[in-house]
Structure 1
Amino acid sequence: MAETPQPRRLAERALDTTAENPWPLRLLSSKMSQYIDRMPPVWVEGQVVQLNRRPGAGLAFLTLRDTAADMSLSVTVHPRVLAAVTAPLDDGAHVVVHAKPTFWPKRGSLQLEANELRAVGVGELLARIEHLKRVLAAEGLFDADRKVPLPFLPGTVGLVCGRESKAEHDVVVNARARWPGLQFETREVAVQGARAVEEVSAAVSELDADPAVEVIVVARGGGGVEDLLPFSNESLVRAVAACRTPLVSAIGHETDTPLFDLVADYRASTPTDAARRIVPDVAEQRRGLAQSRDRIRQAVRARLRREEETLAALRSRPVLADPYAVVSRREEDVAAARLAATRTFSWRLERAAGDLDALRGRLRALSPAATLARGYSVLRSHDGDVIRTAGDVEPGDQLEALLAEGRLVVEVQGDPDG
């Protein structure tokens, strides 16, 4: 008789499962349900989307979406819980929900069962925004030195706006009226509601990555405080702060001040104002060019006129009327100076000649040659020494006698001392 196969022993923990000993799906779903059932109720914050109220139904359904990330959960709400909410719960409404997480094993879905729902009031939201504003300001995200100057004439403008919105029309039409042919890279996104933060952030990042886009404009036609709440979202504000392309904010009216305006490089009061800011007015530039050309022309003409007057004044001077007059006058001066120099030089030569004759006479009078001419002679020994006394020679010495004309050789006779 064949033995009855024993049932497989399943692992107690998920870590103990193997390919040879896996858990059945029903066991995993059961364990997930047990784990989630042990979770206590929790307060959750988010935005309401896809609220579905069916008359006579025991439950209402809505989707609670995160205000900064693409995440959502289904929520079931009893009609009496909805009835207790005094504020209108339209799509995009900001709420906090007290709910118990529930896992449905058959569908494999997770949802929240809400037992209390509260709309977040405008005052509370504004208080949160003010706190976030102080935090971001302390980080330096609103500092003026972080602002990037807008280009004078961008070739391509990135435009983030609502789908088929008047803001898009105002920016494009007014900008092209000022500078025809301006190119736009347009991203139509949700500019209010639950998807605004995600879509605007993605559009700004995409345009920032495009090297052809030189300036980005984020535009919408104003709105109430609730409509502009996405533009004070921390995630969106930080995305704009990280943008390297100059960015213009045109999302509110003059009195609206979402945090998006503070972090942008330039805040325009309206989409039309943004159009005027991103490009110059071609007509105004042409007028300025014409005025500059006229000023240059007038300056050149005035300079030519002054130079002509200066040239005429120079021509009227005597030196230019008769150029040889100056030379003629200087010629007479040069002749007189030459004559004076010649006379002075001749006089100095004559005086020097007289002085030279006098010196020559004195030299001759003092010269030994003049003495010799008077009959005297000079005796010198064979060594050339001059004989001054008789004791300088001895008998028989031959001496040289220098005469006025010629010389003689003489011999000493007898005793020179006798």
Structure 2
Amino acid sequence: MTEFRTQPGEPAEPDLVHPRDSKPDAPTSVSRLNDTIRGFVEKWGFVWVEGEITSWNLRSGNVFGRLKDLDTDAHIAFRIWSKTLQRLPRDLKVGDRVVACVKADYFVRQGDFTFTVSAMRHVGLGDQLEKLERLRAQLRAEGLFDPARRKPIPFLPHLIGLITGERSDAEKDIHRNAELRWPQVRFRTVYAAVQGDRCVPETIAALQRLDADPEVDVIVIARGGGDPQQLLGFSDERLVRAVAAASTPVVSAIGHENDRPLLDEVADLRASTPTDAAKRLVPDVAEQRALVRELRWRLTNRLTQRVAHDIAQLEQLRSRPSLRTPETMLQGREHELFVLVSRGREVLQRTMDAGGRRVDELRASLRALSPGATLARGYAIAQLEGGEIVRDAEQAPDGAEVVVTVGRGSFAAVSRGEVAGREAPGPVEHRA
């Protein structure tokens, strides 16, 4: 047993047990030992301690719980009186990492040792949120939050991969709402821790497993909300980059409407709750049937209107005179054709008559100018052997052979020379 000593100059407390005074033949009582321990404990002041809440029981307005060391399995028991509890954050619960101001208490009657909490708050949340914002800015600068890189969600997935906590309300909500909307929906679920140290590695492993499955069309990461401390795992850089690298579309269904972990920013679709994810993943079969009925009605109505319009147009065309009595149009055209043919024949006849007269005139002029007409009146043309026409008597001296052309034929002759005193051509000798 530890020796209890008084400070120098202080009188010894006669009611306290000191180890040097303890003897087997004169043992002390349990109550005196407890009084000694209480007296020693009461000398301690308030101490700030950090740990994780592992137990939180509310009884008669007071809280009785346990606090665990962050690195070991060491625990302490604590109590919070109702008046103190009213000053503490209302969201304290099991699993929270806190820093608490405690004072040791020892209950003499039961021999129990506990700590009374006078203040308690979440630890490190401000620093963590600051780091989170720096990481958000870094990932945004890298383009991981760019809407253009988001993959489209299939209209009706054949198989939905689900990552959530085992036997969680999130899993039940997604299954119930998805099956109400589309009873044939299929899920492939991989369980993972949704908070604590195992959250990030288990979620990444489940994501990689489902992403490698060719049957999975879309992956949902779901959790039923929580305080910012519990959702920090879904803002871990490793998980965010794993989701960005996935080839399968990923839906984030973490928390509630006001919860915004980084997973929401990088996911291909952000659902405000697991229920909202189920509603956005699969269509409502009743709505789709109603839509099909409406489209059928609209198609039938449109087709009926179009056929009725075309029939009316056809009847209107058939009622026109040109189609009702088409022979009238032909008769009018027949008369026009007769007039045009008659006029054409008349014009052609006049043109041919004028052309005949013109040909006769030209023929007469040609005959009048033709040498044949002159020859027919008794004239003749004398040509030398080379074809030269004799125009002068000197060209045909005595003995020159010439060809004489008359109105009807030609004959050969021999010149006897120029005949004096006559204008007519000189005598020629005929050659048979």
The TM-score with structure 1 as length reference comes to 0.71
Give, in whole Å, the separation in 1 of the partners of 2:402 and 2:142: 126
CA distance 1:353–1:174, change in 2 (3 Å): same
Q: Which amino acid aligns with 1:303?
A: R
Give, in whole Å, the separation in 1 of the partners of 2:138 and 2:220: 25
CA distance 1:94–1:313, change in 2 (3 Å): same
| 1:358 paired to 2:372 | no
- In the TM superposition, residue 93 of structure 1 has moved relative to its aligned partner by 4.9
Flag the structure with larger Rg.
2
Give, in whole Å, the separation in 1 of the partners of 2:144 and 2:197: 25
| 1:228 paired to 2:231 | yes
2:283 is aligned to 280
| 1:140 paired to 2:143 | yes
CA distance 1:263–1:347, change in 2 (3 Å): closer
1:294 is aligned to 297
1:208-257 CA deviation, whole Å, 9 max, x = no partner?
A: 11111111111121122222222223333333233222111112111111
Given candidates 204, 207, 222, the residue that maps to 1:204 is 207
Are 1:393 and 1:416, in contact at CA under 8 Å, matched by a contact in 2?
no
| 1:181 paired to 2:184 | yes
1:305 is aligned to 308
Give, in whole Å, the separation in 2 of the partners of 1:229 and 1:121: 12
Identity of aligned residues (%): 44
Q: Give SS of 1:186's match.
A: strand
1:38 is aligned to none
Q: Which amino acid aligns with 1:385?
A: E
Aligned counterparts, 1:318-329, within 5 A:
318-329=321-332
2:81 is aligned to none
Are 1:391 and 1:417, in contact at CA under 8 Å, matched by a contact in 2?
no
Give, in whole Å, the separation in 1 of the partners of 2:409 and 2:149: 117
- In the TM superposition, residue 380 of structure 1 has moved relative to its aligned partner by 2.1
Structure 1 spans left out of the alignment, 5+ residues: 1-45, 52-59, 65-72, 81-85, 97-117
The TM-score with structure 2 as length reference comes to 0.68
- In the TM superposition, residue 368 of structure 1 has moved relative to its aligned partner by 2.1
Give, in whole Å, the separation in 2 of the partners of 1:139 and 1:148: 17
- In the TM superposition, residue 314 of structure 1 has moved relative to its aligned partner by 1.0
2:152 is aligned to 149
CA distance 1:124–1:370, change in 2 (3 Å): closer
| 1:378 paired to 2:381 | yes
Give, in whole Å, the separation in 2 of the partners of 1:187 and 1:201: 11
Give, in whole Å, the separation in 2 of the partners of 1:279 and 1:308: 44
Q: Which amino acid aligns with 1:222?
A: G
1:238 is aligned to 241
Structure 2 spans left out of the alignment, 5+ residues: 1-49, 56-65, 79-87, 100-120, 422-432
- In the TM superposition, residue 145 of structure 1 has moved relative to its aligned partner by 2.5
Given candidates 199, 214, 228, the residue that maps to 2:217 is 214
| 1:332 paired to 2:329 | no
CA distance 1:92–1:128, change in 2 (3 Å): farther
| 1:253 paired to 2:270 | no
1:168 is aligned to 171
Are 2:393 and 2:417, in contact at CA under 8 Å, matched by a contact in 1?
no
Give, in whole Å, the separation in 2 of the partners of 1:48 and 1:190: 17
Give, in whole Å, the separation in 2 of the partners of 1:310 and 1:61: 88
- In the TM superposition, residue 76 of structure 1 has moved relative to its aligned partner by 6.5
Q: Which amino acid aligns with 1:158?
A: G
| 1:192 paired to 2:195 | yes
- In the TM superposition, residue 384 of structure 1 has moved relative to its aligned partner by 2.8
CA distance 1:95–1:142, change in 2 (3 Å): farther
Q: Give SS of 1:190's match.
A: coil
Q: Give SS of 1:180's match.
A: coil
- In the TM superposition, residue 201 of structure 1 has moved relative to its aligned partner by 2.0
2:124 is aligned to 121
Q: Comparing both chains, which one has the higher relative contact order based on Cα–Cα distances under 8 Å and sequence gaps of 6 or more?
A: 1
1:177-228 CA deviation, whole Å, 9 max, x = no partner?
A: 1111111011222212232222222212211111111111111211222222
Give, in whole Å, the separation in 1 of the partners of 2:173 and 2:75: 43
Q: CA RMSD in A?
A: 3.2
Q: Which amino acid aligns with 1:289?
A: V
Are 2:52 and 2:67, in contact at CA under 8 Å, matched by a contact in 1?
no
1:131 is aligned to 134
